[in-house]
Chain A
Amino acid sequence: MPSSPATHLIPLALAERLLHKADVPAAWGVTAAQFQSPLERSAAQRFSGVSPDARTVETFAKSLHAKDLALATACAAGNSAAWDFFVNQYRQEMVRAARAIAGDAAGRELADSMYADLYGGMRGTQSGERKSPFEYFLGRSKLSTWLHAVLSRKHVDEIRRTRKLDSLDEPRADDGAGDSRARIELPSDLTGAHAGHEPGRERYLALLQSVIAGVLAALPGRDRLRLAYYYVDELTLAQIGKIQGEHEATVSRKLERTRREIREQVDFVLRAEKNLDEAQRSLCYEYARDEWPFDLTGVLAGKAP
């Protein structure tokens, strides 16, 4: 559990007001002093490194999901009535979410494991042996969404642990020289048949990749993230829209716009900075098309409004 700051960002009176407003059942046994602790941690996380004024802190505290936070606080404290309420409200939800994340078979194990963590944490808290995962819920989202995130992270961690997703670790494996271009590796067959009778192929592909990497690095984070969701993670437009808070059609339109801007920027850099003439640029694009035959034109055109 994160340690509480020395000075209180959240006054006890504010914690009491929020607790009262949340209409928390008395059976959960959450006191204002108890409730102050997670509020404090949440504010400390949000305002890390800054000194907010009292009004900003109060606005932030009022934006929290107070009832969910009180439930988590009560469960973390080992309150049986709160635990009973949690199980009735979220048990099926956890199973359903775990199955959606990991599939039917693995989902059941995932949900069981999560439940065991929460239950074990609650009982461990009672006996003082261990901390409850509930203590990491800070109320900035609904408890159900937090459970989804914990389940999803648990699933990804498990996959990484079993090394089924080694590729996820690749980008983080080095010491981070800071230049993304250094990360680009040519496919192994580039030095093979193609390279044998097309001596310029390898050079052109490396050049094109480095230019594209530079252009992508210069994109706004949100645009790059949208591209990654679609190009790499292969999420649907609807899923991307859900994550980014955009309509499906907006996602499609923005993807197409970003794609067009990349093409124009890459062509400009190859022409103006790399001094390639039209024939050389054509050769770049031709090699790339042969090497990585991946095309979203039809897909995006079909989804566009």
Chain B
Amino acid sequence: MSAQENQISLDGPIRRVLAAGMPSAEPCPSADVFAAYYEHSLDPEETEHYDKHFASCASCRAILAGVARASVATIPALETKQGSQWWNSMRVWLATAAACVAVLLVAVVFIQRSSKSTGTENAQLAMSRAVATPAPAESLSHAATTPAPAPPENVPPMLAGNAPAMPLPKSVKTPKPAPPPQDQAVDLSASASASAAVVEPAAPAPAPAERKKAEDARDGAVAALQPSATPQVAPDARQEMSANRAMQAKSAAGFAATMKKPKAQAPAKDIVVTSPGSQITWTIHTNHVQYAENGQPAPVQDFIPTNSAIAAGSSPGGKVCWLVGADGAVVRTTDGRLWLGTNSPTGSDLKAIKATSARAATVTSSDGHTYVTADAGQTWKSATAQN
């Protein structure tokens, strides 16, 4: 039989021999070597050396296979090599967003020139908030009660029609976020400061000043979107910000907001949990917790090991705190800073929790069920069924 005719029959034994492996006397390399090997940054002789080892070591190959899988899921921003590819795909979207913002800006300028009343300023505020959705309910209601100005006569219909997402007075009423739950402390400083800059009635001013004011309103709205930005931009810094920069920031923020929608609806406001009998508070942002003791916030926010939106928290005292959220997420800390996930009693969203100790807590799901744990969340029992 010729070698050509043998080809089918040898794959089986080849695989069997390869799977059996071959002896390798040397120890497996460190993670640093795996990573460098994967990035092809080892020297040729090192690469050849590890090729031989990996060929006979199933564990090492499994690790490399894991690295290969992980790299596929890498965030594009972290991969500089893929940066250009990511940029190419995003460029179309950014260009579209920038065009929309440009149309909006032109419309705003026309409005300002034709109508200089306080009502117009409120409309601008509402419009800028519409861009920076979600907006605080209080300021929206204030703007909504203001008589809507008449549509400007000198706005070209083509422009108005090209920006359906930003209808001028109508947008005041469209975004209606739910008010924050009463049992949750709300941090409105960012949005409040943004609105404070423009809500005050102002006397009619020359067009350039109004234009700058409109930019300020947008800057404030954009700043409110940034989780780590200072609540209020310094006045001199705002003066230096050009309209073009404001447009870029807003389009990027809008784009980021559309691309990074959380799986579940994230709470619009921060949740604050206070430890009874002590001066410890936890302020929960999305996936982060700001720990504070005696009013002094920790220099670093702590990570919550869940992607689910946190809905409620409870502290029985001391440095113990429990949090619950969407998709049955339950996380807990016993030292105030290190958060670890526990087993989940249900896949449903959890909306409330009452913790009585570091090990005992009762949670309530959005479908009305109640679950109890007495072993730090390792096991849960349905309290609803017992009732």
A233 to chain B minimum Cβ distance, whole angstroms, is 5
Nearest neighbor of B61 in chain A, beta-carbon distance = A233
Query: Is B356 at the interface (CB under 8 A from chain A)?
Result: no
Q: Once bound together, how far apart are the Cα atoms of A125 and B317, in whole Å? A: 28
- Within the complex, the shortest CB–CB distance from B347 to chain A, in Å, comes to 12
List of B residues within 8 angstroms of A235 by Cβ: 65, 68
Inter-chain contacts of A119 with B (CB < 8 A): 303, 338
B70 close to A (CB within 8 Å) = yes
Residue from the set B13, B22, B62, B75 with the largest chain A CB neighbour count within 10 Å: B13
- When the two chains form their complex, are residues B39 and A145 in contact, meaning their CB atoms are under 8 A apart? yes
Contact A289 B12 (CB under 8 A): yes
- From B22, B34, B73, B303, A100 is in contact (CB under 8 Å) with B73
Are B14 and A231 interface neighbours, CB within 8 A? yes
Contact B1 A260 (CB under 8 A): no
B224-236 interface code vs A (CB 8 A; 1 in, 0 out): 0000100000000
Q: Chain A: interface secondary structure?
A: helix
A3-11, A17-25, A152-160, A194-202: which lies at the B interface?
A: A152-160
Contact A245 B40 (CB under 8 A): yes
Instruction: Tell me the minimal C-beta distance from B148 to chain A in angstroms.
Output: 41
Residues on A with beta carbons closer than 8 Å to the beta carbon of B152? none
In the bound complex, do residue B300 and residue A80 qualify as a contact, i.e. CB atoms below 8 Å apart? Answer: yes
- Interchain nearest-CB distance for B300 vs A (Å): 4
Q: Are A295 and B8 in contact, with the CB atoms below 8 A? A: yes
Query: Is A228 a contact partner of B303 (Cβ separation < 8 A)?
Result: no
- A21 vs B300: C-alpha distance when bound (angstroms): 27
Name the CB-closest residue of A to B19. A232
Contact A263 B59 (CB under 8 A): no
Residue of B9, B39, B69 with most chain A CB atoms under a 10 A cut-off: B9
Among B14, B30, B73, B298, point to the contact of A216 (Cβ < 8 A): B14
Q: Is the pair B64, A183 in contact by a Cβ cutoff of 8 Å? A: no
A285 touches B65 (CB 8 A): no
Contact mask for chain B residues 53-92; partner A; CB cutoff 8 A; 1 contact, 0 none: 1111111011111111111111100110000000000000
Beta-carbon contact of B17 and A216 below 8 Å: yes
Q: Does A148 touch B at the CB level, under 8 Å?
A: yes
CB-based contact B63/A183 at 8 Å = no
Fill in one digit per residue for A202-222: 1 if any B CB lies within 8 Å of its CB, else 0.
000100110011001100111
Q: Chain B residue with minimal CB distance to A236? A: B68
Chain A-chain B contacts (Cβ-Cβ < 8 Å), number: 293
Distance in angstroms between the alpha carbons of A216 and B14 in the assembled complex: 8
Find the A residue at minimum CB distance from B34: A149
Within 8 A of A (CB), among B177-191: none
Answer whether residue B106 sits at the interface, using C-beta atoms and an 8 A cutoff.
no
CB neighbours (8 Å) of A282 from chain B are 1
The answer to the question of B32 belonging to the interface, with a C-beta cut-off of 8 Å to chain A, is yes
- In the complex with contacts A140-B42, A222-B51, A233-B61, A227-B14 CB distance below 8 A: yes
In the complex, B382 has a CB within 8 A of chain A: no
A155 nearest CB neighbor, chain B only? B66
Task: Select which of A136, A149, A231 is within 8 A of B18 by beta carbon.
Answer: A231
- CB closest chain-A residue, reference B1: A282
Q: Once the chains bind, are A297 and B14 in contact (CB under 8 Å)? A: no
Q: Is A83 an interface residue (CB 8 A)?
A: yes
Known: A176-B23, A209-B17, A212-B14. A101 touches B303 (CB 8 A): no
CA distance A298 to B295 in the complex (A): 69
Interfacial chain B residues near A172, Cβ < 8 Å: 21, 23-24, 57
Q: Are A212 and B71 in contact (CB under 8 A)?
A: no
Residues of A within 8 A of B30 (CB): 45, 136
CB <8 Å contact, B71 and A292: no
Report Cα–Cα, A9/B387, bound state, in Å. Answer: 72
Contact with B along A30-54 (1 / 0, CB 8 A): 0000000000001001100000000
Tell me if A63 counts as interface (CB < 8 A to partner B): yes
Interface residues on chain B, number (Cβ under 8 Å): 80
Known: A170-B20, A243-B38, A288-B12. A144 touches B74 (CB 8 A): yes
Q: Are A222 and B48 in contact (CB under 8 A)?
A: yes
Task: Return the CB mask of A241-279 against B: 1 if under 8 Å, else 0.
Answer: 011010000000000000110111011000000000010
Per-residue interface assignment for chain A, residues 171 to 188, with 1 indicating a CB less than 8 Å from any chain B CB and 0 otherwise: 110101110100111000
Chain B positions within 8 Å of A171 at CB level: 20-24, 56-58
CB-CB < 8 A to B25: which residues of A?
Answer: 176
B31 at interface by CB-CB < 8 Å? yes
Q: Give complex CA distance A224, B18 in Å.
A: 8
Interchain CA distance A97-B68 in the complex, whole Å: 10
Q: How far is the CA of A221 from the CA of B192 in the complex (A)?
A: 65
Partner of A120, one of B23, B63, B338: B338
Interchain CB contact under 8 A, B7 and A153: no
* Interface pair B52/A221, CB less than 8 Å apart: yes
Residue contact B66 to A156, C-beta cutoff 8 Å? yes
A100 to B305, Cβ gap below 8 A?
A: no
A54 → B minimal CB distance (Å): 18
Q: Which A residues form the contact surface with B (CB < 8 A)?
A: 42, 45-46, 63, 80-81, 83-84, 87-93, 95-101, 108-109, 111-112, 115-116, 119-120, 123, 136-138, 140-142, 144-146, 148-153, 155-156, 159-160, 165, 167-172, 174, 176-178, 180, 183-185, 205, 208-209, 212-213, 216-217, 220-222, 224-225, 227-229, 231-233, 235, 239, 242-243, 245, 259-260, 262-264, 266-267, 278, 281-282, 285-286, 288-289, 291-297
Name 7 A/B residue pairs within 8 A (Cβ), A-sorted.
A45-B30, A141-B41, A150-B31, A156-B62, A235-B68, A243-B67, A288-B9
User: What would 5 more interface pairs be, CB under 8 Å, given A221-B52, A281-B1?
Assistant: A146-B32, A165-B62, A212-B10, A224-B55, A232-B58
* Interface, chain B (partner A; CB < 8 A): 1-25, 30-36, 38-43, 48, 51-59, 61-75, 78-79, 228, 287-288, 298-301, 303, 305-307, 337-338, 340-341
The 5 closest A-B pairs by CB, nearest first: A292-B12, A171-B21, A152-B66, A141-B35, A221-B52
